[in-house]
Structure 1
Amino acid sequence: MSGASETSTRICEKEGCNQPGKYRAPKAPDVLDDFYWFCKDHVREYNQQWNFFHGTTEAEMNAQMSKDKVWERETKSFVDPEQRAWSRLGIEDPHQVLGGNATQNPGRVKAGGRKLPPTERRAIEILEAKDDWTKTEIRKAYKALIKVLHPDINGGDRSQEEQLQQVVWAWDQIKQSRNFK
């Protein structure tokens, strides 16, 4: 617990001392991983004279002490994340949350004003259709996408196979739906 390195074979670096140098002390505040090796008496003497802030101005010392209060981590502004959170809801001023936007749910009702289950809403997005289209119009969009994505039409190119599977899934959702004429 004394800090002595029992395996050290060094001699004390104090001029004129022949005791074993078992205690290390940093050479400078800038270089804390390079050490002097002293005996017990001389390391005590060195530590009493040690000043981390030697050669710094008072302003530099205060700046370092301020950094040390937060473990040298800069604090982040709370304004930016909060502003981004409100903007995701389409609100510029947090006080608008109590106004007309408070009753809107942007995930359920789109511009057409139809309420659709999440699977059908996702299917509409995949097929690049609108929720006020009829099944016939959506089927035309489905066929157009199939022509673009199918490997038989693209010379055997299977790079868009996952997207093709999503399009087929989306059409199955719409085909079985009662929400479209």
Structure 2
Amino acid sequence: MSGAFETSTRRCDKEGCDLPGQYRAPKSPRALDDYYWFCKDHVREYNLNWNYFQGQSEAEFQQFLDNATVWERPTKPFGRSTQEQKWARHGVDDPLDILGANGTNPEVRLKSTRKLPPTERKALEILEARETWTRTEIRKQYKSLVKDLHPDMNGGDRSDEDRLQEVVWAWDQIKDSRSFKD
């Protein structure tokens, strides 16, 4: 637990010392992987005199502190990212700027005005209705679709029967919903 390398065959690097050098100490702050090997007494003496910042100016010391507070990663101010960086965040590479500036502009993107359950949103798609419509408006749309798709209105043609079943299912989702005004 002392940090000694028991199997080391080196001699202490302190002049005049013949004890085994079982403890390592970095030679300089610039070469932390290059070591002196000392005996226990001399490594203690070396460590007491060790100063990582020895020989550095005040500006270099301040630069070290600034880098250390952000884990030595460069930082950028918020809100100054380029359009290319916005697309890169989504995994899109657009070096020719084909997608343009409006690709991530929130005013241009179509946004849902309210949250609806997925079944009700799917029902609106099937009925070709908008989420801002009232239940009465959606019912009118439902009725017109049923008239267009019903076999009795198409001379007995049953080719749209699957679509008719989807429309009926969609109306069942909307008519019992609390998300739409009457």
- The TM-score bracket by the shorter chain reads 0.3 to 0.5
Output the TM-score relative to the length of structure 1.
0.48
Output the TM-score relative to the length of structure 2.
0.48
